[in-house]
Structure 1
Amino acid sequence: MTGRAGYHVTRRAGIIGGGIGGLATAIMLQQAGWTVRVFERAPALGGSGTALGMWPASLRALDALGLGGDVRALGARQRHGTFLRPDGSRIARLDVSAIARRTGDSVHLISRPALLGLLAGAVAPGTVSFDSPVTDLAAYRTGFDVVVAADGVFSRTRTAIFGTDSGARYVGATAWRGTVDGATDTVSETWGRGQRFGVTPREDGRTNWYATALAPPGGRSPEGEVAALRARFGDWHAGVRQVLSRLRPAEVLRHDLYQLARPLPGYLDGNVVLIGDAAHAMTPDLGRGAGEALVDAVTLGHCLADATSIAAGLAEYDNRRRRPTQRLVRLSHRVGRIAQARRFTPLRDAAVRVALTFGPPT
């Protein structure tokens, strides 16, 4: 069979991982006429997760997938953003309207389960095989024209290609997240010494929250995570206390934060290509991880459609995405270190206020 770009292939793709990046890649390739199989080791779509920020580039990627309008309609539009101190005084305000003026689009917040549901609904029936871990990468290399590794921050595919020293490392901070009853139009992040607390709206009329703190890896709170959170943040301003008062233990998730130990020398090896966290796992400090996985998926689809060969298409994807995403990894880590500072917090706050006077990032 001759591909749209003119090269002779069967156009069969195997995708390892049925999360955001894997499902988006499946949609993109199926739109181009590829036969796609997605192999997900979990028994079902992820049903937990809090709000994800869809920045303008992410929304354009969703437009290419035919889902941009759905996300804009379903998601909560971010109209402002505020950085606060624990006493409630303001450090700085994020002018979200400036993003719309620059890009023609705003930031929309949508929960991970809702986004996964939209993506899953757009792939052809029977595409995703659950309870299907990939244990023999070599068999997939020969069985498919392209193998897309979308298997997350602890990617086994990445380790098989680049070795154990390509893995993820703990960045020194743990995170809690969840949702509580009641709507909010607040988008705020409160910065203390070595810890933060964020609040955002969610598309279903509930409130999304998250918290981070410097801590040893693998820690758990003997008294329970709700009690630990109230002990840490219970004397912060009223907005934080209101969320803490509505916490339910079953809805509190805790996980340590990781990023890649070192930048990868490339995002491909033969006909195997890495996307999303498998390629460039970053801390959540820019709110860009999920969105960049979407951009990866759409870019990969375009590159394969436009190239004269699969090898050329994969090389072009690597050329377009590796340097920008690795810059984001570094920037996100730097922002996290600044936000989680234990000392010189007045200087930190002043620096952030000055930086945001020149407008928000796009």
Structure 2
Amino acid sequence: MNYPIYLDYNATTPCAPEVIETMIPYFGTHFGNAASKSHPYGWVAENAVEAAREQIAQLIGAKPKEIIFTSGATESINLGIKGIFETYSGEKQHYITCKAEHKAVLDTFAEIEKKGAEITYLSVNSKGEINLDELEKSILPHTKLICLMWANNETGLIHPIPKIAEIAQSKEIILFTDAVQAAGKIPISTKGIHLMAISAHKLYGPKGVGALYVRHNHELPKPLSQIHGGGHEKGFRSGTLNVPGIVGFGKAAELRKEEMKTESHRLEKLRDTLESLILELPNTFLNGGQNHRLPHVCNIAFGGVEGEELLKKINQKVAVSSGSACTSISPKPSHVLQAMGVESDLGRGSIRFSLGRNTTAGEIEQVVDWVKYVVRKLRNLE
């Protein structure tokens, strides 16, 4: 297949060649079950899992024992939120999140809301930022958890998590952050955080494996398991471990720790070039602010065009999306852009460009030329 230029790295990333090479032996030669404690096949698998746990912990500034492997970020989010809800079972419960969170967070909160939890959804301004004063004022005596993403998957906006951690700590409230788009892209830390979701396939690792950071040695409670049977992962998540995936996750985390600084500078320059040249088109707008965002992401609204047709035409030569991969087939405007006050037609006519490890300057030139051609054609200017 003649693939288009790929600029949808926020949806998923290709496995780095080094990751694939590291994983392969664990599909065949080292095929053991990491829970088999009585023979070398299990020992080798278990050692590989623990080495990966260490690599992932180093990426986010955690202890290896605080990393719980899951099937991905959605499971981590469900385990964190539902697990805390069940921990406080029988008590009056209040939670704080944001209208611009990923659907995995919003849909999970909707489920516990049906079961009696009270949820506050913070509003955002035109840049997608929350108001920290509003956050503080939303805290109630029975607030159990604050859940806010580190970086937005659609606009790249980075929330001030260290400041939010201070607020949570001062009120003795659990802080959960979805760090899926931030981990491996920008420096992050677990300081002041109790729960953190991350995913391998967003940082050049394999799909189907993620992790939940669970803070140890703290008086605030930990989530209760949502999957039972065998007591794997310190009882937080039962099930035979995906050893090849975990090994790949570890290698990807190691690579991102090494490459993050230089790669983010390179991608920021390419992103800024792409953005400035596309915004030369009249009636185009940057969704969100230019500051405090991930270095590889921009989200641009195109006025005067029909959104579905725009996306269809651009994707003939450039693979992009209109928002989260989970909702990419929906003709509705993005809930993130709606929360930011972007008008519906502009929301539908918005495209997220997310660059990555394989993006080149030559590709950026081609993308700009193609986008400008498509937009002008749809506006009947060519």
| Fold shared by both chains (TM-score > 0.5) | no
Q: TM-score when scaled to structure 2? A: 0.26
Q: TM-score when scaled to structure 1? A: 0.27
Between structures 1 and 2, the one with greater strand share:
1
